[in-house]
């Protein structure tokens, strides 16, 4: 990675992780990669954007029905015709994440980036969390749904992210020991960004 640095952001659903990552990238003057990874993957892999969105950060066990119906038949892609499509999507994104980390400083959201880049110099892994009721209220507001529906969506989304992460990674999603920093976003997004920026300077540059 040379002089490049990478901040990876894992996040609970509704914790504000994407917004924090966007603010951080702007503060650090680097690119943010979240859904942008899907566009790059679509260009480089031969997979359609629709397929990438469908299988993005989804747990493997939810695709057993699709597997039985032959939904994973992408012959010749990545030279692994028998590989399940969800695995192919992960493999494509992992390759892109490694290539990006080699050529530029950036902030990457989700997709097991901290595990994919494990052992790399100049990488800081962060996990953003918050109280589930607070997250449900935030989701309720921006999705314009009831609190009950938002609460259910938060729980289901967290379960999907955990299932995806724990399948493709040796570490456990949301476990403090899996990340350099875990921060509760209740302290305020700007304060979270300030803390991460400080840690980038101290951990990576020693300033």
DSSP string, 165-187: HHHH-SSPTT-GGGSSEEEEGGG
Torsion angle of the four alpha carbons 124, 86, 132, 35, in this order, in degrees rounded to the nearest 10: 60
Task: Residue 161: name the closest of 152, 143, 173 by CA.
Answer: 173
Q: Which tens digit of pLDDT belongs to each residue from 28-56?
A: 999 999 988 888 888 877 777 777 777 77
Q: Which tens digit of pLDDT belongs to each residue from 52-109?
A: 777 777 665 544 434 333 333 333 334 445 567 778 888 889 999 999 999 999 999 9
Helix (H) or strand (E) holding 57: none
In whole angstroms, give the CA distance from residue 137 to residue 55.
Answer: 27
pTM, 2 dp: 0.85
Q: Which residues pair with 181 in a beta bridge?
A: 126
Instruction: For 127, list phi and psi in degrees, rounded to 5.
Output: -125, 125
pLDDT-based confidence at 11, cuts 50/70/90?
Answer: very high
pLDDT-based confidence at 16, cuts 50/70/90?
Answer: very high
């Amino acid at each position: 990675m040379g002089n490049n640095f990478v901040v990876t952001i894992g996040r609970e659903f509704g914790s504000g992780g994407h917004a924090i990552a966007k603010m951080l990238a702007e503060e650090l003057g680097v690119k943010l990669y979240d859904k942008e990874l899907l566009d790059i993957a679509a260009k480089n892999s031969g997979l359609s954007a629709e397929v990438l969105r469908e299988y993005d950060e989804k747990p493997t066990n939810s695709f057993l029905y699709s597997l039985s119906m032959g939904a994973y038949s992408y012959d010749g892609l990545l030279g692994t015709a028998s590989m399940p499509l969800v695995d192919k999507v992960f493999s494509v994104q992992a390759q892109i994440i490694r290539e990006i980390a080699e050529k530029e400083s950036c902030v990457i959201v989700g997709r097991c980036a901290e595990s994919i880049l494990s052992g790399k110099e100049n990488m800081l892994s962060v996990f953003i969390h918050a109280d589930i009721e607070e997250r449900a209220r935030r989701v309720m507001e921006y999705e314009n749904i009831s609190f009950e529906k938002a609460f259910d969506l938060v729980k289901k989304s967290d379960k999907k992210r955990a299932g995806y992460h724990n399948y493709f990674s040796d570490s456990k999603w949301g476990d403090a020991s899996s990340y350099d920093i875990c921060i509760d976003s209740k302290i305020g997004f700007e304060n979270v960004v300030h803390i991460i920026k400080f840690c980038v300077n101290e951990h990576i540059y020693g300033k």
